[in-house]
């Protein structure tokens, strides 16, 4: 039975309470929300991004085609270009089954080309059944120049290929094909169906760009002087300005990121959907499987300054140094940034907090109105979590970002999680959470849990399900909220739950009491997607079994592991149907998701909680 007292007043609920968390995982950006149809458009794919890559990944060449990295390049940040001999051609295969075109729709092609002695490029769209649009001829002469052409598709195809042939010697770079029809018709825009699905949630905020993407690699150099080392974390200055000058980089999740969807586009998208932009910057302490904190004060100061510059980029007048960059990109008016996250899931709470304080002091000195968000580490409980919260409380932090992925049972059992949180301490930003699965049962458990978030809306100020997007052919992490391939997108049950809450945000909680609630005690069991954490502080052991009951992985923490994680990239792989641990030294072990066979496994995880936790 549920008893409601309509005259009682509970917590006020902010309009921004429910938002989305966008991270470029599962090809959420290139091959996903970013509408570019050409894969590896600037020939920058490299083994530094993924062992299987070459600069011609997704391209096939006919005749003499060679990727060149020399001083004849387009610009210093776009290192490779393609040299094509007379009568040669290249063909791009796009993502998934190919380039998707729809009959009657327009597609904008562009290319940077150089042909000192002059040439004619023939650009065509086709699939195995033949032409998909009238071919275009482009006369090219002289040094690097941007050329454009438009196609109107004469047929619909999911298997399109874009081919560029040259009559005489020519060099090409930044070969691009965009649907004319992007979200809100923005240039360098977003794929409409995906953006519309996100917009339909009416998110209160957009947290971006990650995730593990943010902090891992934050100590790496990434400059011309260093030879453009890859694997630097996602840093905003790398991602703004003309797209052909955004040096592509290795993505934490094992592929190349073009940064075509960069900070300007994130801010613009947030504005387009009426959501508060909420960027996260690296704190110079790594999490996500690494334990490292920078001791390089100059580097730390550079990042602090970058963060101040980011706020100026978002909010400064068009006459300010970074406001001018924003204005030049097409947005003279400010983006109204009010919240910023520093760091993500750091495993070293003390080291993190010491560095966080430097960011916070500098931000508050210059922009006292900005809410600076700290975090509680990678887990929902345990020693790291407790220390992080203690530091955040004692340090008078505005807001703390908590993350957890757990079984549906866990979510049902923890509806009361925030009932006992200190009302005078930092507010909570639940920046990432999901129960392990995309089944209806998962959505239901999340809905039940969200009633607890809402009941505690005086403490829990912001909440976002994670991850948001997954391209079904490039999955690193399950479950995910919205799924897609090159031609379609579909919502999960979890999406429908989020939408229900997000499009019906109340003003105030009316307190209620429920009796005869179901008994959800017992060990944590449940089908896993690609994510769950267990720490030796909270659990005695964890076990992953296949549907037939055979054990694939188990850990009783006797080896001293502090954390066990079933997710992400890197340390585990699937070989001949067995999980193989490839990095036994890792304190933070992971199961890889890159193997397409992954989805064929119906796994169960069982973790035994320590008593009292
Ligand atoms: O949402 C996927 C990952 O989960 C994020 O990158 C990270 O913050 C968390 O561990």
Pairing mode of beta strands 578-581, 81-84: unpaired
The tokens for 450 are: 């969200």
Q: Hey, which of 210, 289, 463 would you mutate to test ligand 1's pocket, going by the most ligand atoms within 8 Å of its Cβ? A: 210
The residue nearest atom 5 of ligand 1, judged by CA position, is: 211
Give pLDDT, residue 463. Answer: 98
H/E element, 276 = strand 276-281
Average pLDDT over residues 12-21: 98
DSSP 271: H
Which residue's entry shows tokens 């999340």?
Answer: 446
585 CA to centre of ligand 1 in angstroms: 21
Which residue's entry shows tokens 């470029």?
Answer: 24
Q: Hey, which of 207, 216, 254, 405 would you mutate to test ligand 1's pocket, going by the most ligand atoms within 8 Å of its Cβ? A: 405
The residue nearest atom 1 of ligand 1, judged by CA position, is: 467
What does the CA dihedral 152, 156, 158, 164 come to, rounded to 10 degrees? -30
What 3-state class would DSSP assign to 263?
A: helix
Query: Of the candidates 85, 168, 27, 2, which has an alpha carbon nearest to the alpha carbon of residue 486?
Result: 27
The residue nearest atom 2 of ligand 1, judged by CA position, is: 467
The tokens for 156 are: 């619909």
Residue 377 to residues 314, 463, 613: CA-CA distances in angstroms?
Answer: 27, 16, 17
Q: Is 115 in the pocket of ligand 1 (CB under 6 A)?
A: no
Q: What are phi and psi of 215, to 5 degrees?
A: -95, -30
Could you give the CA distance from residue 89 to residue 103 in angstroms, rounded to a whole number? 25
The residue nearest atom 8 of ligand 1, judged by CA position, is: 211
Kindly report, residue by residue over 277-295, the tens digit of the pLDDT. 999 999 999 877 678 899 9
Residues whose CB is less than 8 angstroms from the CB of residue 336 and which lie 6 or more positions away in sequence, other chains included? 276, 277, 314, 315
What does the CA dihedral 300, 304, 307, 311 come to, rounded to 10 degrees? -170
Q: Is 477 in the pocket of ligand 1 (CB under 6 A)?
A: yes
212 CA to centre of ligand 1 in angstroms: 5
Query: Of the candidates 161, 158, 112, which has an alpha carbon nearest to the alpha carbon of residue 135?
Result: 161
Report the atom number in ligand 1 closest to the C-alpha of 565: 10
Residue 126 to residues 102, 182, 445, 485: CA-CA distances in angstroms?
Answer: 12, 22, 47, 19
| Reported confidence tier of residue 426, pLDDT bands at 50, 70, 90 | very high
Q: Is 31 in the pocket of ligand 1 (CB under 6 A)?
A: no
Q: Is 404 in the pocket of ligand 1 (CB under 6 A)?
A: no
* Crossing angle between the packed helical segments 297-315 and 349-366, to the nearest 10 degrees: 40
Could you give the CA distance from residue 560 to residue 558 in angstroms, rounded to a whole number? 5
Give pLDDT, residue 436. Answer: 86
- CB neighbourhood size of 274 (10 A): 11
Domains 18-30+184-514 and 59-181 share a fold: no
Say if CB 429 and CB 342 are below 8 A apart. Answer: no
Task: Determine what percent of the chain is predicted with pLDDT higher than 90.
Answer: 71
The residue nearest atom 6 of ligand 1, judged by CA position, is: 211
Give pLDDT, residue 220. Answer: 80
Residue 291 to residues 163, 213, 217, 350: CA-CA distances in angstroms?
Answer: 46, 15, 11, 12
SS3 content of the chain, % helix, strand, coil (to 5): 20, 35, 45
Q: Is 25 in the pocket of ligand 1 (CB under 6 A)?
A: yes
Kindly report, residue by residue over 97-139, the tens digit of the pLDDT. 999 999 999 999 999 999 999 999 999 999 999 999 999 999 9
Kindly report, residue by residue over 308-364, the tens digit of the pLDDT. 999 999 999 999 999 999 999 999 999 999 999 999 999 899 999 999 999 999 999
The residue nearest atom 4 of ligand 1, judged by CA position, is: 211
ipTM for the complex shown: 0.99
Q: Is 210 in the pocket of ligand 1 (CB under 6 A)?
A: yes
* Crossing angle between the packed helical segments 297-315 and 321-328, to the nearest 10 degrees: 50
Q: Is 177 in the pocket of ligand 1 (CB under 6 A)?
A: no
Which residues make beta-bridge pairs with 418? Answer: none
DSSP 365: H
Which of these CATH numbers, 3.40.470.10, 2.60.120.260, 1.10.287.70, 3.40.50.300, describes 59-181?
2.60.120.260
Report the atom number in ligand 1 closest to the C-alpha of 531: 4
Residues whose CB is less than 8 angstroms from the CB of residue 578 and which lie 6 or more positions away in sequence, other chains included? 552
Residues whose CB is less than 8 angstroms from the CB of residue 149 and which lie 6 or more positions away in sequence, other chains included? 108, 109, 110, 123, 136, 138
Task: Determine what percent of the chain is predicted with pLDDT higher than 70.
Answer: 83
Handedness of CA 39, 45, 48, 52 (dihedral sign): positive
Kindly report, residue by residue over 229-268, the tens digit of the pLDDT. 667 888 999 999 999 999 999 998 989 999 999 999 999 9
The residue nearest atom 9 of ligand 1, judged by CA position, is: 211
Report the atom number in ligand 1 closest to the C-alpha of 431: 8
Entry pTM: 0.86
Residue spans of the domains in the chain: they are 18-30+184-514, 59-181, 524-609
Give pLDDT, residue 359. Answer: 98
Q: Which CATH class is domain 18-30+184-514?
A: alpha beta
Residue 111 to residues 81, 150, 453: CA-CA distances in angstroms?
Answer: 11, 12, 49
Pairing mode of beta strands 170-179, 81-84: antiparallel
Could you give the CA distance from residue 393 to residue 353 in angstroms, rounded to a whole number? 11
What distance lies between CA 300 and its chain's CA centroid?
Answer: 24
Query: Of the candidates 198, 604, 197, which has an alpha carbon nearest to the alpha carbon of residue 436?
Result: 604
Q: Is 238 in the pocket of ligand 1 (CB under 6 A)?
A: no
The set of catalytic residues is: 345
The tokens for 266 are: 């994130």
Give pLDDT, residue 581. Answer: 38
Report the atom number in ligand 1 closest to the C-alpha of 432: 1
What does the CA dihedral 121, 41, 98, 122 come to, rounded to 10 degrees? 0
DSSP string, 219-252: TS--STTTT--S-----GGGG-S-GGGS--EEET
Query: Of the candidates 215, 330, 357, which has an alpha carbon nearest to the alpha carbon of residue 265?
Result: 330
The tokens for 193 are: 């169906």
Say if CB 126 and CB 160 are below 8 A apart. Answer: yes
Give pLDDT, residue 522. Answer: 41
What 3-state class would DSSP assign to 100?
A: strand
Query: Of the candidates 395, 404, 405, 284, which has an alpha carbon nearest to the alpha carbon of residue 346?
Result: 284
Give pLDDT, residue 558. Answer: 54
Rg (CA), the chain: 25
Kindly report, residue by residue over 489-533, the tens digit of the pLDDT. 999 999 999 999 999 999 999 988 877 655 554 433 333 333 334
Q: Is 530 in the pocket of ligand 1 (CB under 6 A)?
A: no
Say if CB 341 and CB 431 are below 8 A apart. Answer: yes
Q: Is 345 in the pocket of ligand 1 (CB under 6 A)?
A: yes
The b-or-e profile of 539-552 (16+ CB within 10 A means b, else e) is bebbbbbeeeeeeb
- CB neighbourhood size of 436 (10 A): 27
Q: Is 434 in the pocket of ligand 1 (CB under 6 A)?
A: no
- Higher pLDDT pick, 397 / 579: 397
Q: What are phi and psi of 516, to 5 degrees?
A: 50, 45
Could you give the CA distance from residue 418 to residue 433 in angstroms, rounded to a whole number? 14
* Crossing angle between the packed helical segments 263-272 and 192-199, to the nearest 10 degrees: 50
Q: Is 244 in the pocket of ligand 1 (CB under 6 A)?
A: no
403 CA to centre of ligand 1 in angstroms: 8
The residue nearest atom 7 of ligand 1, judged by CA position, is: 211
289 CA to centre of ligand 1 in angstroms: 11
Which residues make beta-bridge pairs with 78? Answer: 75
């Amino acid at each position: 039975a549920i008893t409601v007292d309509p005259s009682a007043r509970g917590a006020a609920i902010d309009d921004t309470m429910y938002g989305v968390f966008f991270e470029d995982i599962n090809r959420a950006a290139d091959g996903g929300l970013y509408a570019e149809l050409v894969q590896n458009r600037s020939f920058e794919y490299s083994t530094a991004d993924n062992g299987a890559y070459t600069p011609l990944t997704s391209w096939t060449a006919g005749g003499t085609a060679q990727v060149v990295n020399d001083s004849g390049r387009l610009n210093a940040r776009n290192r490779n270009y393609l040299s094509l001999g007379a009568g040669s051609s290249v063909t791009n295969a796009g993502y998934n089954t190919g380039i998707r075109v729809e009959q009657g729709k327009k597609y904008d092609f562009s290319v940077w080309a150089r042909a000192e002695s002059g040439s004619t490029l023939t650009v065509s769209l086709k699939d195995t059944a033949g032409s998909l649009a009238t071919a275009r001829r482009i006369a090219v002469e002289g040094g690097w120049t941007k050329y454009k052409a438009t196609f109107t598709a004469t047929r619909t195809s999911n298997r399109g290929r874009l081919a560029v042939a040259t009559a005489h010697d020519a060099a090409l770079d930044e070969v691009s094909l965009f649907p004319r029809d992007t979200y809100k018709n923005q240039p360098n825009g977003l794929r409409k169906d995906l953006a519309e699905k996100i917009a339909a949630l009416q998110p209160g905020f957009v947290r971006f760009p990650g995730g593990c993407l943010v902090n891992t690699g934050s100590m790496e150099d990434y400059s011309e002087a260093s030879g453009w080392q890859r694997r630097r974390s996602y840093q905003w200055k790398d991602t703004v300005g003309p797209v052909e000058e955004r040096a592509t980089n290795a993505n934490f999740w094992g592929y190349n990121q073009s940064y075509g969807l960069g900070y300007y586009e994130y801010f613009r998208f947030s504005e387009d959907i009426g959501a508060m932009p909420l960027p996260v910057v690296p704190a110079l302490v790594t999490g996500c499987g690494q334990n490292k904190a920078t001791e390089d004060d100059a580097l730390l100061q550079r990042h602090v300054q970058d963060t101040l510059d980011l706020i100026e980029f978002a909010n400064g007048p068009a006459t300010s140094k970074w406001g001018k960059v924003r204005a030049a990109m097409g947005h003279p008016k400010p983006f109204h940034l009010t919240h910023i996250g520093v760091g993500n899931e750091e495993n070293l709470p003390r080291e993190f907090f010491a560095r966080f304080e430097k960011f916070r002091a500098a931000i508050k000195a210059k922009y006292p109105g900005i809410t600076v968000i700290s975090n509680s580490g990678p887990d929902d409980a345990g020693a790291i979590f407790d220390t992080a919260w203690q530091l955040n409380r004692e340090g008078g932090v505005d807001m703390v970002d908590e993350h957890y992925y757990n079984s549906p049972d866990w979510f049902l059992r923890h509806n009361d999680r925030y009932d006992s949180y200190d009302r005078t301490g930092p507010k909570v930003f639940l920046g990432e959470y999901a129960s392990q699965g995309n089944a209806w049962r998962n959505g239901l458990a999340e809905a039940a849990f969200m009633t607890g978030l809402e009941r505690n809306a005086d403490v829990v100020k912001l909440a976002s399900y994670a991850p948001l997007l997954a391209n079904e052919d490039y999955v690193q992490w399950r479950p995910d909220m919205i799924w897609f391939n090159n031609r379609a997108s579909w919502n999960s049950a979890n999406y429908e739950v989020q939408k229900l809450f997000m499009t019906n945000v109340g003003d105030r909680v009316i307190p209620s009491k429920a009796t005869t609630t179901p008994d959800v005690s017992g060990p944590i069991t449940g089908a896993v997607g690609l994510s769950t954490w267990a720490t030796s502080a909270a659990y005695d052991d964890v076990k992953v079994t296949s549907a037939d009951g055979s054990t694939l992985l188990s850990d009783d923490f006797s080896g001293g592991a502090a954390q066990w994680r079933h997710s992400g990239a890197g340390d585990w792989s699937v070989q001949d149907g067995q999980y193989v641990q490839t990095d036994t030294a890792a304190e933070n072990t992971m199961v890889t998701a890159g193997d397409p066979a992954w989805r064929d496994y119906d796994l169960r995880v069982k973790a035994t909680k320590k008593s009292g936790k």
